[in-house]
Structure 1
Amino acid sequence: MSETIEPIAEDDFEWAIVEIFGHRRHAGRIREEEKFGAKMLRIDVPTLVAPEAAEAGKPIEFAVERWTSHWYGGSSIFSLTLTDEGSVMRVNRPYASASRYLAPPDRYDGDASEDVSALDDIERPW
């Protein structure tokens, strides 16, 4: 595993999800390269980072921080699925922890000292 240093033309790559020996799974951009006198699969996997501040109610736009390259021989490829850039980015986005559930406010917002007999007419789901 190494990080890509040289700039690469985007046109030379295809987007794919690759499984290696059925144990490792990478999603990224792929192409065939010759290394050590043999043809190998090169897959560049993006490392995504979330912005520091995100607007409430809008989807978070992740940015690619760096690309990590892996090379595999053809006999080690268990499966290769061609896909699109959006799918690759969704697979590689960081884990988002579960958020806390906030209960909706009560229907009655008045003062507790007020007459609450009108609340008896409210249709309840139970």
Structure 2
Amino acid sequence: MEDKEKPELWAIIELFGHNQIAGIMSEYSVGGCSFVRVDVPVTKECPGYTKLYGNGAIYAITITDEETARAVAERISPKPMSVWSAREMLQLNRSDQEARQEGDDIPL
């Protein structure tokens, strides 16, 4: 059986939850499951990154040219992860513990 090369296409992907992402779209398989892979280009606000989406997360896909997809990626300025990082959370936890040791009341 011949292994067919899967195309990479520039696209704007609409996700459930009123979210959009734009970049190079391709098919990706891991653990026996198929995903839509989106390689988001570098923007002024964010470095390039890759996201994988299951078919249940996608509402619509618009195939487009590179220029349009890059412009949409720049406009929506997607973030690769939450603003909170593990390092920041650990620092906050450390600050809370220090405050408790000093006898300060921290509301939950």
Q: TM-score range by the shorter chain?
A: 0.5 to 0.7
Matched, 1:71 2:56: no
Whose relative contact order is higher, 1 or 2, with alpha carbons under 8 Å and at least 6 apart? 1
Contact 1:22–1:78 under 8 Å retained in 2? no
Name the one with the larger helix percent.
2
- Hey, what's the Cα distance between the residues in 2 that align with 1:72 and 1:87? 21
Matching residue's letter, 1:28 = G
- State yes or no: 1:41 paired with 2:36: yes
Tell me the SS of whatever aligns to 2:52: strand
Percent identity between the two aligned chains? 33
Residues 12-21 or 86-95, more deviating: 86-95
TM score, norm. by length of structure 1: 0.49
Query: TM-score, normalised on structure 2?
Result: 0.56
Higher strand share: 1
Matched residues in 1 for 2:16 and 2:63: separation? 18
1:18 to 13, 24, 48: 13
Larger Rg: 1
Distance across 2 between alignment mates of 1:13 and 1:34: 14
Q: Report deviation, 1:72.
A: 0.6
How many residue pairs match? The answer is: 71
**CA separation in 2, counterparts of 1:93 and 1:78?**
21
Query: What is the aligned-residue RMSD (CA, Å)?
Result: 2.5
* Structure 1: stretches of 5+ with no match in the other structure: 1-10, 50-64, 96-126
